[in-house]
Amino acid sequence: MDQTQLAQIYEQLVSGLQEYFKKHNFTKAVLGVSGGIDSALTLKIAVDALGADNVTALLMPEKNVTREENTFHARTLCDFLGVKFHTVQINKFLMDFGTLPWKGNPTAQMNVKPRVRMTMLYHYANTFNALVLGTSNKSEIMLGYGTKFGDFAADIEVIADLYKEDVYAVSRYIGLPDELIEKKPSAELMPNQTDESELGATYNELDPILKQHEIGFEKLLEKGMNPSTLNRTLRRIEENKHKTSPIPVIKITRV
């Protein structure tokens, strides 16, 4: 994308957020800021749309899992943008889950972390009459790479129409720091986790598949895409659709 296209995209993101808040009579927003590029871009859009005084960031690191570098980057960005923030370690909120009558498996133990963080965000939002901003990008959502009712929960998703490569392009355009853009993306639900190691491919490999996935396996294969990555990605898309679909409702017939 050229500079004109990037400028148009950014303007639409800012104006779209402004219009949503105006329509629903809200002025204040809260979001989780992790030190990663997605939450950094979302924070900048929120500040430009609503004003720094109307945006609050929650930094919710997990001791011994969240890298100090990420917490430092999150604090530094909030300071630079003039945004009020609170830092709350989530470890103590996780401890009680170890006293349940059953032992959670690794998936349950990881997914409880973003759900605790989202509960904290909504606690703040309810207290101060704010809306929770989502920070998921389109690539993550299509792949289902997120936690249902955790980081996939929000009142409005700000960058959910941007593929990961678009997130990088827009972030460079608006001048977000290189150290945020160039670091390996990670959900940090366990030590040394990275998105791309879990997904089995880089976002540079995944985004072209996601943009054309509807044409099917065979036609994508003809375009020279890696069959293993292609198969794994298409399967993940189908298996995880439930994460972002409306909650099913059992319909009844009233007599």
Q: Would you list the domain boundaries of the chain?
A: 3-196
Q: What is the dihedral of CA 92, 98, 104, 108, to 10 degrees?
A: -10
Cβ-Cβ contacts under 8 Å for 224 (sequence gap 6 or more): none
Task: pLDDT band for 119, please (50, 70, 90 cuts).
Answer: very high
Percent of the chain with pLDDT over 70: 100
Say if residues 125 and 132 touch (Cβ distance below 8 Å): yes
Whole-prediction pTM value?
A: 0.94
Residue 54 has pLDDT above 90, yes or no: yes
**Biggest distance spanned by C-alpha atoms of the chain:** 63
Residue 55: what pLDDT? 98
CA atoms within 13 A on the CB side of 143: 29
pLDDT confidence bin for 193, thresholds 50/70/90: confident
Q: What Å distances lie between residue 149 and 34, 64, 186, CA to CA?
A: 18, 24, 19
Mean pLDDT (whole number) for 20-24:
98
Q: pLDDT tens digit string along 26-39?
A: 999 999 999 999 99
* pLDDT at residue number 204: 92
Q: pLDDT category, 77, cuts 50, 70, 90?
A: very high
CB–CB of 60/26 below 8 Å? no
Type of residue at 193: Q
Q: What is the mean pLDDT of the chain?
A: 95
Secondary element (H or E) of residue 56: strand 55-59
Q: What is the mean pLDDT of residues 106-111?
A: 95
Note the CATH number of domain 3-196. 3.40.50.620
Convert 185-198 to b/e letters by CB count within 10 Å (16 or more is b). bbbbbeeeeebbee
The whole-angstrom separation of Cα 51 and Cα 202 is: 35
Alpha helices in the chain (DSSP H): 3-23, 37-50, 68-81, 91-95, 106-128, 138-143, 164-174, 178-182, 195-199, 203-212, 217-222, 227-239
**What does the pLDDT read at residue 221?**
87
pLDDT score recorded for residue 191: 87
The token pair at 121 is 């965000």
Per-residue pLDDT of 196-226, as tens digits, reads 888 989 999 999 999 999 998 888 888 888 8
Q: Which stretch of 166-170, 174-178, 194-198, 209-213 has the lowest confidence by average pLDDT?
A: 194-198
Q: Is a pLDDT exceeding 90 seen at residue 242?
A: yes
